[in-house]
Structure 1
Amino acid sequence: MKFTVSYSVQAAKRLLFVLIAIEAVLVVAYVLTHMTDSVLSLKLLRKMFDLDGDLSIPAWFSSMQLFVISLLLFLLSVQEKSIPIPTSFFVVGGAVFLFLSLDEGVAIHEKVTILAKRFSFDWMMFRGNHGAWIGSYTLIAVPALWLAIPHLKKMWENYRYAVQMGLVGVAVFVTGAVGLEIASYMFLRESPNTTLYMIEVIFEEFFEMSGVTLMLYAVLLLAHDMCTNQEKASPVYATEEN
């Protein structure tokens, strides 16, 4: 099966900037609703724009982006390919991002911590009995990434810029979702300094959202190149007409 795309690389780049701008607005909304809550008592708005909330607008914003990535990867699984990348690679990738979308939307990872507490798996958790999901997800992610390396190498050879952007997105996302999350568990969750915790939440969640946006941008570039048979070992997008 062969798909065609009707967007340009420049259009994908513009979308990247628009989405990051929206994320900046969500951060500002979070700060304003928290700073004015004691004066205006905007509890509903505070909950809606809570960056640390599981059912908030920022969470659903990221969830929708993850869902679009999943959909694109599923479509690429049936796209005719000029390089030997197995269909299963895209199917599994789509399934992973579909799970992450659901997780972001309904906080599946929090259920892992609840189960760890119920069965007294204290060794899985950080200070304050938080973060059991991190070890569990890591045990799954590391071998999965190891198995994916040969296919990623092949894609690197043919779609290098898209893969580069995807890896940057993953690094930014993991920095927020795992690195800063662990820092908050270890030093800030039990701290009386609410301002410092709020600053940590801003950076953590903005890194998560922008990381997802960069991954979406990378998959859009990949879909564009695969559907137009443009195999590029190095980026030449700068020469494309607006």
Structure 2
Amino acid sequence: MNLNPKLLKPAIPYWIGGLICFEVAIVIIYLGGVFIHREVYPPFDMDGFMTIPSLLQASILLQLSLVYLGMFFFSRHSQERPSPAFWLVQSVLLFYVTLDELVKLHLGLGSSSWMPIAGTKYWIGIYSFLIVAIAVFFFRDFKALWYSSRNLVILGISGLLLAIIGGFGGEIFKHIVLNPLLSQWFPEREVLTWVIEQVRVAFEEFLEMFGETLMLYAVLLFVAKKFEQKHQDFGEK
């Protein structure tokens, strides 16, 4: 089935806009329960697994994984960069991250002995190493992307940085800064410390979702651009 680039490209902003509106709605409902009823509504628990926020985030990651997999098949007979391996490796990693988001593998929930990175306390370091390793190993592919689609690369990297700040930075801030301060300043005000923690969770998870959505936006625009180029080349022939 051939996708019409004239229909694909204009539809992308609507899809991304819908995802962002859904993410904002989740944050509002989550914080509404925290501030109004002093409880987290279970279906909208942003720190839980198999909840609406985790399913939404997993769906975004899965979309990224499938798009990367599609680009692998699209480019597997091409000699141009990015190489097929570039798309395949990232597709596999993103699929694992999707599973991680669904059942919190890095916390050991819903994991099994054959799953790597499951239940380890070193998950931040492992994920950080994988990100750096991919950047180094596929440096030429990223370089080719930079010269061909600089604006999309900047958009994608911005999304990645936001997701990293939300996922990694939020946890680091919690354990190194927030928890010691709360125990020192509000040792007997459990409700207040709980509310502050929920606000942190909402901010952290929203940054993750929004960052991943920006990454998806950049990748979809790149795919649309590739389809448009292929359509034009086919028309010239």
Give the TM-score normalised by the residue count of structure 2.
Answer: 0.79
Give CA deviations for 1:205-226 in whole Å, capped at 9, x if unaligned.
1100101111111110111111
Q: CA deviation at 1:158?
A: 1.2
Residue of 136, 147, 152 corresponding to 2:126: 136
1:148 partnered with 2:138? yes
1:75 alignment counterpart: 70
1:5–1:185 Cα change, 3 Å = farther
CA contact (8 A) 2:135 2:142 kept: no
In the alignment, the residues of structure 2 paired with residue 12 and residue 82 of structure 1 have an alpha-carbon distance, to the nearest angstrom, of: 28
CA distance in 2, matches of 1:83, 1:96: 22
Q: Which moved more, 1:28-37 or 1:67-76?
A: 28-37
**Percent of paired sites with the same residue:** 26
Unaligned runs of 5+ in 2: 112-119, 183-189, 231-237
Structure 1 pair 184/147, CA: closer, same or farther in 2 (3 Å)? same
**C-alpha RMSD of the superposition:** 2.6
CA deviation after TM superposition for structure 1 residue 160, in Å: 2.0
Query: Does residue 176 in structure 1 map to residue 175 in structure 2?
Result: no
* Correspondence list, 1:42-53, <5 A: 46-53=41-48
Distance between the aligned counterparts of 2:154 and 2:10, measured in 1? Answer: 17
Of 141-150 and 171-180, more deviation after overlay is shown by 141-150
Provide the rounded CA distance (Å) in 1 between the counterparts of 2:4 and 2:145.
19
Separation (CA, whole Å) in 2 of partners of 1:32 and 1:197: 14
Give unmatched runs, 5+ long, in structure 1: 115-129, 231-242
Contact 1:20–1:213 (8 Å) recurs in 2: yes
Query: Do 2:64 and 2:94's aligned partners in 1 also have CA atoms closer than 8 Å?
Result: yes
1:50–1:56 Cα contact (<8 Å) kept:
yes
1:189 Cα deviation from its structure 2 partner: 4.5
Looking at structure 2, the residues matched to 131 and 24 of structure 1 have their Cα atoms a distance apart, in angstroms, of 30
Deviation at 1:198, TM superposition (A): 1.9
Q: Which amino acid aligns with 1:103?
A: D
Q: Matches of 2:179 and 2:8 in 1, distance apart? A: 44
- 1:111 matched residue in structure 2: 108
Q: Which amino acid aligns with 1:185?
A: H
Q: Following TM superposition, by how much is the alpha carbon of 1:85 offset from its aligned partner in structure 2, in angstroms?
A: 2.5
The alpha-carbon distance between structure 1 residues 37 and 131, as it changes in their structure 2 partners (threshold 3 A), is farther
Question: How far 1:53 moved relative to its partner?
Answer: 1.2
